[in-house]
């Protein structure tokens, strides 16, 4: 229940080094259960969710050390097929242990995963995919028993809804199935490509990741290998917003501009000057007031739901009126009432909000709601008039590496209370 004290009225200027992608690193960590050989992973972000994932792997018997910026994992020692409830409940990503444990041991007992309360977040598509490949699944009140009596069989699976999580589950299960699996209507996120690249490094045969049709030819065994996690596109976008709302100027380094095409397009529509290079993005909003923009979230390459709260903040201090539509999660406006406390003129309708930009936000004692909402409220504190307290910053640390330190380097003054 720690709090952050944030001094307002700041202009954020400077360079920031972007960390590895949380949403690629978490599934990749759990995919290591699919092999008994040693793995080396670079660019792992230092986050609470990652710490929990490492604890989960250790609880199964894996040996893991962090040395010279690399994580060394020996999954050969894993000998437990059911991870502990108290860790599983802490992160959404724990669902990605289900398929690897099932394949490795022929059985597993899992609990329903935790994570941000941004919607009901069912796991039916994960389970249906596994059932189609041949797994037997029994759902209890809060646990899942899964088992197989023979190897999974490749199948044609058409996803009824695009799901990042379920695409990852099915892709990982199919790597060691007999025959070919086709995932139609697959999610196309850069994280899916990174996970496929990692699995292929270990000897899997996956083609088409990043398109809406993924083909996986099952192999008998996966080996060890080394992998470098892609940069975090959502962390990058969050820092670009930090400069855009504070009339600042930022260079995000160690990032991948190609993964942010839609976000950069929207930011340039607000009036920001954007330049990109091979692994950097510069955003200049000095001496300007941003213009409002309409947003509608959709699966990649559409506008990411994980950037929706940050853009609402930008709209709340921009010139003009805007509409932000959330199409992925049904409960992702939790942070809005905190922005309203700070003076934002926002109205929540059903799955959308309308916003009339105001010239200033004002400091308040506010409560962080979920991961991306928390980052948004911290940024709001940096530009508000006065000094803001953000409570419950637990969520923030789950997904942003050294967020307050990186912002302080850009000129913010954020301290733990």
Catalytically active residues are 116
| Beta strands at 280-284 and 321-325: parallel, antiparallel or unpaired | unpaired
Q: How far is the CB of 13 from ligand UD1 (least distance, A)?
A: 29
Region from 118-126, 172-180, 210-218, 282-290 binding ligand UD1, contact rule CB under 6 A: 118-126
Nearer to ligand UD1, 151 or 210 (CB): 210
Binding mask 9-48 for ligand UD1 (x = CB under 6 A): --------------x--x----------------------
Region from 130-138, 159-167, 224-232, 312-320 binding ligand UD1, contact rule CB under 6 A: 159-167
395 touches ligand UD1 (CB under 6 A): no
Q: How far is the CB of 358 from ligand UD1 (least distance, A)?
A: 28
Q: How far is the CB of 371 from ligand UD1 (least distance, A)?
A: 8
Q: CB of 216 within 8 A of CB of 181?
A: yes
Q: Which residues pair with 348 in a beta bridge?
A: 353
Nearest to 290 by CA among 321, 247, 261: 247
Nearer to ligand UD1, 169 or 246 (CB): 169
Binding residue (CB under 6 A) for ligand UD1 from 35, 82, 181, 305: 305
Q: CB of 198 within 8 A of CB of 230?
A: no
Residues 6+ apart with CB under 8 A from 140: none
Region from 4-12, 30-38, 119-127, 248-256 binding ligand UD1, contact rule CB under 6 A: 119-127
Site of tokens 């270990």? 202
Q: How far is the CB of 59 from ligand UD1 (least distance, A)?
A: 19
Which contacts qualify for 339-344: CB closer than 8 Å, 24 or more apart?
Answer: 339/312, 339/313, 339/376, 339/377, 339/380, 341/366, 342/366, 342/380, 342/384, 342/388, 344/313, 344/316, 344/317
C-alpha–C-alpha distance, residues 16 and 250, integer Å: 7
Nearer to ligand UD1, 164 or 214 (CB): 164
C-alpha–C-alpha distance, residues 2 and 29, integer Å: 28
Region from 65-73, 163-171, 177-185, 277-285 binding ligand UD1, contact rule CB under 6 A: 163-171
C-alpha–C-alpha distance, residues 286 and 144, integer Å: 53
Q: Which helix (H) or strand (E) holds 103?
A: helix 98-105
C-alpha–C-alpha distance, residues 356 and 366, integer Å: 21
Q: At 109, give phi and psi (nearest 5°).
A: -120, 120
Nearer to ligand UD1, 117 or 409 (CB): 117
164 touches ligand UD1 (CB under 6 A): yes
Nearer to ligand UD1, 282 or 332 (CB): 332
Task: Record the tokens describing residue 153, joined without a space.
Answer: 């069989």
Query: How many residues can be counted in the chain?
Result: 417
Nearer to ligand UD1, 282 or 398 (CB): 398
Region from 64-72, 157-165, 236-244, 286-294 binding ligand UD1, contact rule CB under 6 A: 157-165
Nearer to ligand UD1, 255 or 292 (CB): 255
Binding residue (CB under 6 A) for ligand UD1 from 122, 273, 321, 417: 122
Task: Give, as one character, the DSSP assignment of residue 229.
Answer: P
Binding mask 311-350 for ligand UD1 (x = CB under 6 A): -----------------xx---------------------
Q: Which residues pair with 225 in a beta bridge?
A: 39
Nearer to ligand UD1, 303 or 367 (CB): 303
Helices (H), 141-271: 164-175, 190-201, 233-245, 261-269
61 touches ligand UD1 (CB under 6 A): no
Binding residue (CB under 6 A) for ligand UD1 from 119, 207, 347, 415: 119
Binding mask 67-106 for ligand UD1 (x = CB under 6 A): -------------------------xx-------------
**Dihedral class, residue 275 (left if φ above 0, else alpha if ψ from -120 to 50, else beta):** beta
Region from 115-123, 208-216, 254-262, 404-412 binding ligand UD1, contact rule CB under 6 A: 115-123
C-alpha–C-alpha distance, residues 254 and 243, integer Å: 17
Residue 246, preceding bond cis, omega within 30 degrees? Answer: no
- Angle among Cα 237, 415, 3 to the nearest 5 degrees reads 85
Residues 6+ apart with CB under 8 A from 258: none
Q: How far is the CB of 159 from ligand UD1 (least distance, A)?
A: 9
**Dihedral class, residue 121 (left if φ above 0, else alpha if ψ from -120 to 50, else beta):** left
Binding residue (CB under 6 A) for ligand UD1 from 121, 178, 247, 341: 121
For ligand UD1, the binding residues (CB under 6 A) are 23, 26, 92-93, 119, 121-126, 161, 163-166, 187, 305-306, 328-329
């Amino acid at each position: 229940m720690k709090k952050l004290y944030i001094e307002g009225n700041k202009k954020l200027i400077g360079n920031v080094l972007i960390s590895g992608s949380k949403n690629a690193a978490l599934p990749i960590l759990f995919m290591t259960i699919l092999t008994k050989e040693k793995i080396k992973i670079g660019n792992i972000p230092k986050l609470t969710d990652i710490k929990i994932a490492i604890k989960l792997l250790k609880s199964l018997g894996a040996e893991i050390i962090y040395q010279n910026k690399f994580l060394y994992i020996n999954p050969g020692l894993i000998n437990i097929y059911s991870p502990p409830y108290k860790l599983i409940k802490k992160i959404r990503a724990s669902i990605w242990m289900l398929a690897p444990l099932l394949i490795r041991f022929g059985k597993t007992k899992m609990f329903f995963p935790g994570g941000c309360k941004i919607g009901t977040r069912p796991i039916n598509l994960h389970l249906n995919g596994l059932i189609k490949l041949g797994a037997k699944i029994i759902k209890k009140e809060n646990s899942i028993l899964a088992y197989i009596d023979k190897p999974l069989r490749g199948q044609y699976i058409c996803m009824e809804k695009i799901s990042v999580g379920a695409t990852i589950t099915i892709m990982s299960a199919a790597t060691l199935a007999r025959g070919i699996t086709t995932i139609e209507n697959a999610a196309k996120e850069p994280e899916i490509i990174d996970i496929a690249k990692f699995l292929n490094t270990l000897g899997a045969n996956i083609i088409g990741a990043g398109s809406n049709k993924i083909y996986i030819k099952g192999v008998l065994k996966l080996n060890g290998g080394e992998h470098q996690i892609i940069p975090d596109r959502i962390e990058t976008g969050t820092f670009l917003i930090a400069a855009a709302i504070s009339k600042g100027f930022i260079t995000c380094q160690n990032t991948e501009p190609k993964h942010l095409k839609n976000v950069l397009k929207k930011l340039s529509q607000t009036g920001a000057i954007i330049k990109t290079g091979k692994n950097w993005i510069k955003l200049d909003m000095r001496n300007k007031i941003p213009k409002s923009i309409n947003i509608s979230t959709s699966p990649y390459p559409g506008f990411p739901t994980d950037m929706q709260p940050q853009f609402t903040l930008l709209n709340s201090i921009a010139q003009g009126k805007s509409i932000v539509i959330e199409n992925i999660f049904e409960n992702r406006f939790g942070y809005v009432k905190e922005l309203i406390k700070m003076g934002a003129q926002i109205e929540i309708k059903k799955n959308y909000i309308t916003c009339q930009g105001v010239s200033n936000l004002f400091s308040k004692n506010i409560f962080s709601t979920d991961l991306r909402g928390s980052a948004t409220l911290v940024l709001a504190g940096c530009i508000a008039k006065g000094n803001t307290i953000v409570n419950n910053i637990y969520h923030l640390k789950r997904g942003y590496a050294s967020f307050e330190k990186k912002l302080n380097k850009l000129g913010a003054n954020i301290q733990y209370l």
